[in-house]
């Protein structure tokens, strides 16, 4: 089973549990709407790729980690799109959850996906109880406070934003969680992978800033120009387009060079460079070649 199949199977199983008999119909439909069809599934792919690089010693645990990571990412998008934050009308090329189902259901969908993520992690690691607590703590750290997505979102409410802390919490933290969980699932040391996770998270943020600044709504699947409209920090505004592009390329190389010595290092490096090309806005790809 390839990575995409492992990810989609895990997501379908998790949502099937969450929408089983007894779930209110509108909530059940909205949960499915928020998760399917998925986006690039970058974070769960990274989680599984690191597990494979470490020997993929327990695929069931790795799959659970990847599923939990993606569910949490989807939850963050639902909440991020709410009127109290970005008030985004679209996500992944279709109306955002709050536009399709209303704010109340959207709020519950985000909350429900967070609960489903940790329920999945607990249920699918029953055979390896020595892993559960470490994985829950690692992934929770990536989404909570003071260093996770919650803190990243909160930085937007501060009068003066620490841009490094903001980007690290809002974007890089879940990459760190994905990489760390992937390593732990195969009994690796997550500290060996921290530099890789940090560089990839930063690279993704730069790519997202480039898309937003270049008004590439079609490629993003969400409204472009949101950073300027909402007064959020954007590296393109700080470095310019070419400066941000150079920064992106440097971060990708840093990530590839940071892969620890492991049996799957070459495959992981190839995957990182492939993902980097996909992440780069098409308008800039030619100049970066």
Q: What are 122-167's pLDDT values in tens digits?
A: 999 999 999 999 999 999 999 999 999 999 999 999 999 898 899 8
Question: What local confidence, expressed as pLDDT, does residue 274 receive?
Answer: 87
CA nearest to 26, candidates 122, 109, 134, 113: 109
Do residues 224 and 215 lie in contact, with contact meaning Cβ atoms separated by under 8 Å? yes
pLDDT at 7 > cutoff 60: yes
Q: Tell me the CATH class for 3-288.
A: mainly alpha
Q: What are 182-232's pLDDT values in tens digits?
A: 999 999 999 999 999 999 999 998 988 888 887 655 555 656 566 666 666
Cα(51)–Cα(186) distance, integer angstroms: 6
Question: What local confidence, expressed as pLDDT, does residue 68 receive?
Answer: 99
pTM of the model: 0.92
Average pLDDT of the segment spanning 101-115: 99
Question: What local confidence, expressed as pLDDT, does residue 232 receive?
Answer: 67
pLDDT tier, 17 (very low <50, low <70, confident <90, very high otherwise): very high
Helix, strand, coil percentages in the chain from 3-state DSSP, rounded to 5:
70, 0, 25
For the chain, what are the domain ranges?
Answer: 3-288
Average pLDDT of the segment spanning 100-109: 99
Q: Please name the residues in contact with 134: beta carbons below 8 A apart, sequence gap of 6 or more.
A: 184
pLDDT at 65 > cutoff 70: yes
């Amino acid at each position: 089973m390839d990575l995409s199949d492992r990810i989609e199977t895990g997501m379908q199983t998790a949502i099937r549990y969450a929408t089983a008999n007894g779930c209110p119909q509108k909530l059940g439909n909205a949960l499915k709407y928020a998760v399917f069809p998925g986006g690039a599934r970058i974070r769960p792919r990274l989680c599984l790729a690191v597990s494979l690089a470490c020997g993929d010693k327990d695929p069931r645990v790795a799959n659970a980690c990847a599923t939990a990571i993606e569910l949490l990412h989807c939850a963050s998008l639902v909440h991020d799109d709410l009127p109290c934050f970005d008030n985004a009308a679209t996500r992944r090329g279709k109306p955002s959850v709050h536009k399709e189902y209303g704010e109340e259901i959207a709020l519950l969908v985000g909350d429900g996906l967070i609960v489903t993520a940790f329920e999945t992690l607990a249920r699918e690691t029953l055979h390896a109880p020595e892993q559960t607590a470490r994985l829950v703590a690692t992934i929770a750290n990536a989404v909570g406070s003071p260093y996770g997505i919650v803190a990243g979102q909160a930085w937007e409410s501060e009068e003066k934003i620490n841009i490094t802390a903001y980007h690290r919490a809002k974007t890089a933290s879940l990459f760190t969680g994905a990489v760390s969980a992937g390593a732990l699932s195969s009994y690796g040391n997550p500290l060996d992978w921290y530099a890789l996770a940090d560089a990839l998270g930063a690279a993704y943020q730069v790519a997202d800033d480039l898309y937003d600044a270049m008004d590439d709504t079609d490629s993003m699947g969400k409204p472009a120009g949101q950073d300027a409209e909402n007064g959020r920090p954007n590296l393109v505004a700080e470095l310019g387009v070419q400066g941000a592009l150079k920064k992106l390329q440097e971060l990708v190389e840093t990530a590839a060079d940071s892969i620890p010595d492991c049996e799957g290092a070459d495959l992981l490096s190839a995957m990182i460079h492939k993902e980097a090309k996909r992440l780069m806005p098409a308008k800039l790809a030619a100049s970066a070649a």
